[in-house]
A and B are shown apart, each in its own frame.
Chain A
Amino acid sequence: MSKAWNTVSEAPAIPLPPGTANEPPALSARRSEAARRAADLPPPAPHDEEWRRTDPARFPLDAWPPVHLEPRPPRPADADPLDEFFDVVIEMDGSGWSVRDRGGVTQSGRIAVLSLAEAAERHPDAVETLWTLEPAVRPRDRHEWAAMAAAAGVFIRVEPGAEFARGVLVRVRQPAGRWFCPLTMLDVSERSTLHVVSAILSEPGDGLAAETVRYRVGAGGRLRLARLQLCAGGPSQMEFVHGRLSEDAQLDAVSVHLGGAAVRSRVGAEAAGRGAGVRIGGLLLAAGTEQADQQTVQIHSAPDTTSDLLFKAAVRDRARSVYRGLIAAHRGAVRIAAYQKNQNLILNEGARVDSLPGLRIDADDLTCTHGATIGSLDPDELFYLRSRGLPESVARRLILEGFFEEIVSRLAMPALRDVVRRHLAERMDAPA
């Protein structure tokens, strides 16, 4: 295949999307730096600890042409019943991106929805801060740098004291056969509230997607972030989510993974201001030969901070899932409470789960608990449900729905819960 896109000259090549040349110089410089950093890191080898459980061949960086998203007017055909629950609906796909401001809220001046290039002009400091955010305990790897180099997407800023509880829906339709790097930057000012839901859907086929989410929440601010990946039968997925919370800020994040040939997920939060609170929930159902690798970091760099993380995974057929969790408490982060739990369900023989919780504690006077469970469907529960007339397939689905309910119920919107339950049921009922 001939490569029509720009690359940084050094091998191995890191693809840069076309159309980024006219961006503000600071942004272009950051892209080039990201491409260079990616190129400087060696490609993953199968014996790397990081890649021991997922096949690097499923995440090739140079197999697909990158996508650059130009703004375009909204298209009526994109409308979806879910839209009515949101003030702002953002669409991204292989041909561009659009904003539908259903409630006219961007006219108020209290919320801004901008392209990355626009944001780099108007809010350079915020873009710079969000661009450079990374957890010190887990530096960016080659794929994450490459995703930054090719990132295209939106910057959403909420002004101090503004409330957008109805919030923003970001719907991403991932094109097949492309290297697609949607980016969402969330700048939640002090005392403001923002609710963001991102849903990634994909065309059937191959390709590679890497979603980057960067957020910061100012003092007393609140961010609710729900991310749904509904890519059964679609390309491999990577995601890099990280952000930082100031004093008394709160994050309530839920991620849902229901499909994708291979999934690498990196989710992190830093409670960087006194009194900040982090709550993160995740659910994943892998089927077929899918491979999922999820890592989370909870960083406590300020006193009196809390974090509560619960990730649940179920695997069927020959799918496999690995979870690695890390709680890092920095020196001086006293009187913190950190909690991390990973629960796994193996639905049949042949599926596989690994769970590796971890702690790195440099502070004292804290409460820190973590734990992991791996189990299979309880035969007594199955028999109980069957004795009430439910066919085995329905009984299995009900138990699985119950297993995930603790996460699903954290989604703020009933309509969203229904979407997740429907996709869960489809995945459960699909033949092996």
Chain B
Amino acid sequence: MTNAPQPLLQIEGLRAGVGGREILRGLDLEIAAGEIHALMGPNGSGKSTLSNVLMGHPDYEVGAGRVRLAGEDLLELSPEERARRGLFLAFQYPVAIPGVSVVQFLKAAVEAVRGRESVRAAAFLRELRETAAFLEIGEIFLNRPINEGFSGGEKKRMEILQMLMLRPRMVVLDETDSGLDIDALKVVARGVQRIAGPSAGVLVITHYERILNHIPPHRVHILLEGRIARSGGPELVAELERRGYDWLREPSAAPSG
């Protein structure tokens, strides 16, 4: 009880990129269970690269560094193994899978992540309906092909629905607030608050402070040019809002040895 909590997610000296171009240049980040962290940064700072690398997108190459989830090395694992260890990424641009209904997709995913034995068909459907209602997702959506023809807000709600059904312990929200109106944002925040708790960690990756008014972070990190340029408490959000990113660039932009 008195020990310092072991970090749930631990990123050390992560260097990674895509297409031969290094984008993350020695990123360090630790998130403990029960904590909500925000990661903010301008376009091109490496936010999306980080979420892709964390989830194991095959196009991204890791040059150096370590990523551990509850002490276990993630980088050696396939995306599906990471999901089964409790990592969840809410995509910035969720893709549509034509002909695969939300129910069918989530049934397969829940069985893969939570185990086939632990999920009975009737209980699964009850939980799915209840969770959809909580997120104000009409039941008609559950039988439609996943994300096909969905609006931006519907897709993001669908991500949160998947998150709640898979019960991850570490959640990464990649610009989940982009393209959301205020009502949808509140629903998304409600979903995240439901999963956030003593045992789960949340990383909110965003451009804007707006989502952080609804999901107040314990810690805020600013990502610039592939590295954490500054970390602080929630007050950093207001400062960023006031001053922009430029004041942070000087020290980290200087070539280092």
Contacts and interface: CB of A to CB of B under 8 A. Distances in A.
Interface of A: 378-381, 383-392, 394-395, 398-399, 401-406
B181 to A, nearest CB: 24
8 contacts: A381-B97, A383-B57, A385-B109, A386-B78, A389-B84, A390-B80, A402-B100, A404-B99
Given A378-B95, A387-B91, A390-B80, 4 more contacts: A384-B95, A387-B56, A389-B83, A389-B166
Contacts of B91: 384, 387
A401 B57 CA distance: 23
A403 B84 CA distance: 26
Interface string B71-106: 000000011101110000101001101111000110
B99 A386 contact: no
Nearest to B57: A383
Nearest to A398: B100
Given A378-B95, A380-B95, A384-B95, A391 B100 contact: no
B212 interface: no
A404 B98 CA distance: 9
Given A391-B112, A394-B112, A398-B105, A385 B78 contact: no
Contact of A401 (B58, B78, B95, B99): B99
Interface residues of B, number: 28
B57 to A, nearest CB: 6
Interface string B42-62: 000000000000011111000
B112 A389 contact: yes
Contacts of A405: 98-100, 145
A392 B80 contact: yes
A379 B58 contact: yes
Contacts of B82: 387
Interface of chain A: mostly helix, strand, loop or mixed = helix
B108 interface: yes
The 8 closest A-B pairs by CB, nearest first: A402-B99, A405-B99, A389-B112, A389-B83, A402-B100, A389-B113, A388-B109, A386-B79
Given A380-B95, A384-B94, A401 B112 contact: no
A379 B79 CA distance: 13
Contact of B79 (A387, A398, A406): A387
A183 to B, nearest CB: 34
A379 to B, nearest CB: 7
A388 B112 contact: yes
A389 B100 contact: no
B97 A384 contact: yes
A404 B145 CA distance: 13
Contacts of B176: none
B75 to A, nearest CB: 15
A297 B215 CA distance: 59
A335 B82 CA distance: 57
A384 B108 CA distance: 13
B119 to A, nearest CB: 12
A383 B97 contact: no
A425 to B, nearest CB: 12
Contact of A389 (B80, B98, B104): B80
Given A383-B58, A390-B109, A401 B79 contact: no
Contacts of B80: 386-392, 395
Contact of A387 (B59, B83, B99, B145): B83
A386 B95 contact: no
B206 interface: no
B10 interface: no
Contacts of A389: 80, 83-84, 109, 112-113, 166
A380 B162 CA distance: 17
B108 A390 contact: yes
B93 to A, nearest CB: 9
A7 to B, nearest CB: 49
A380 B201 CA distance: 26
A394 B78 CA distance: 14
Contacts of B94: 384
A391 B55 CA distance: 14
Contacts of B100: 398-399, 401-402, 405
Contacts of B104: 398
A380 B82 CA distance: 17
Nearest to B112: A389
Contacts of A383: 55, 57-58, 79
Contacts of A390: 80, 108-109, 112
A389 B84 CA distance: 6
A392 B56 CA distance: 13
A399 B104 CA distance: 11
Contacts of A399: 97, 100
B83 A388 contact: yes
A394 B108 contact: yes
Contact of B98 (A379, A387, A402): A402
Most buried by A among B58, B99, B162: B99
Nearest to B145: A402
Contacts of B58: 379, 383
Contacts of B109: 385, 388-390
Contacts of A401: 99-100
